Amino acid sequence: MYAVTVLTLLLLFAILALSLNLITGVAGQVTLGHAAFFGVGAYTLAYLTTEAGVGFGPALAASVLAAGVVGLALGAVSLRLREDFLAIATIGVNFVAVAAFLYLPYFGGAFGISDIPRPAGPLGFFGLVLLAFAFTAWLHERVRASDLGLALLALRESEAAAAALGVDVRRFKVTAFALGCALAGLAGGLYASYIRVIHPEDFGFPLSVTLLAMVAVGGMGTLWGPIAGAVLLGGFAQAFAFVQNYQLFLYGLLLALTMRYRPQGLLGRRP
């Protein structure tokens, strides 16, 4: 069961990393607020299943929808901002989301929401998460291989070139945001039901940083890169529990060393 527990979390991280990769790796939009959408999904499911008495299935669908809609809005906003400004504006989005979880009624305030129902035992739930992961990976590949995906990849190389090819740059950016955020909402709904207790700070800026690091360390724009990043960084604390006192230090160092000596990420191809 220990292995199942650890794997469940790693798969959730992998879903998050792939969803972020659609936005950052494929469409080239750097966002440092992805945890907010994870949180929107988690809070939606938590509220619906505890307070409103909605079943797990519809609640999870609502999580995906809610995060997707907010993502769509952010996508529209992102069109106005160039790279570095966007990165910082998304930090802002994360802080605003955490503040909303903390201050809006219904969300349990500082106490968070606890006793969130889980529809299956650990093994059954792991199967569910595996399914969600498979779906995410499939969608990720569909998007990458489709006309849309190729356009998005082109967009990453050069917006002007993409526009010249007749690609609607704006539509693609917004689509990437909406899809990526909806998938983050899926992970959030599953997470809330899995861990059964959520607090506003669980979806804060540090998690966004971790997610972006997973994508970058693994290798942006690829399929296996973000997954490898999620396993490596998400499993770091478990794998390196024996160096207890130096865990966080080594984690930080790993990020710096990877970017310094292998900037394309572990599985990324040299540009």
Partner 1 sequence: MRQVFMALAVLLGVALAQAPVKVGVLAPLSGFAAADGRSALTGIELAVEEINAQGGLLGRPVELVVYDDQADPKQAVNFARRLVELDKVAFVIGASYSGASLAAAPVVNEAGIPFIAAYAVAPDITRDKPYVFRMGLLGTVQGRVGAELAHELGAKRVAILTIQNDFGRALEAGFRERAQVLGLEIVYRDTYPLGNKNFTPILARLRAARPEVLYASAYFSEAANLVRQVRSLGMEVRVIGQEGYDSPKFIELAGDAAEGVLITTTLDRDSTDPAVQRFLEAYRERAGIPADMVGASGYAAMQVMALAAQRAGGLDGEALREALAQLEEVETVVGHVFYWTEDGDPVKTATVQEVREGRFRRFMKFDRIEVLKP
Partner 2 sequence: MDWVTFGYLAVDGLAVGSVYALTALGLTLVYGLLRVLHVAHAGVYAVGAYGGWLAYSATEHLGFALAAGALAATLFGLFLEWWFYRPLAGKPPLIPLIGSIGLFLATGDLLRILFGPYQQSLPALEPRPVLFLGAVGVTAPQVAVLLGTALLLLGVYGVTARTRLGLAWRALAQDLEVASALGIHPPRHTALAFALASALAGVAGVLIGVYYNQVYPTMGDVPAYKALAVVVLGGLGSVWGTVAAGVLLGLVESLALAFLGNAFPPEGVAFLALIVVLLVRPQGLFGR
Binding site for partner 2 (CB under 8 A): 24, 30, 77, 80-85, 87-89, 91-93, 95-96, 98-100, 102-103, 205, 209, 212-213, 216-217, 220, 245-246, 248-260, 263
Buried b (16+ CB within 10 A) or exposed e, 190-217: bbbbbbeebbbebbbbebbbbbbbbbbb
Report if residue 72 touches partner 1, rule: CB under 8 A.
no
Our CB check for partner 2 shows the closer of 161 and 250 to be: 250
Report if residue 2 touches partner 1, rule: CB under 8 A.
yes
Those residues whose C-beta lies under 8 Å from the C-beta of residue 23, and which sit 6 or more positions away, are: 29, 31, 34, 176, 177, 180, 181
* Cβ atoms of 211 and 260 closer than 8 Å: no
Report if residue 73 touches partner 1, rule: CB under 8 A.
no
Our CB check for partner 1 shows the closer of 19 and 175 to be: 19
Residues 3-32 that bind partner 1 (CB under 8 A): 5-6, 9
Our CB check for partner 1 shows the closer of 76 and 197 to be: 197
Q: 3-class SS at 192?
A: helix
What is the separation of C-alpha 18 from the centre of its chain, rounded to a whole number of angstroms? 7
d(CA 33, CA 204) in angstroms, rounded, equals: 8
List of residues contacting partner 1 (CB under 8 A): 1-2, 5-6, 9, 102, 109-112, 114-115, 195-199, 201-202, 237-238, 241, 244-245, 247-249
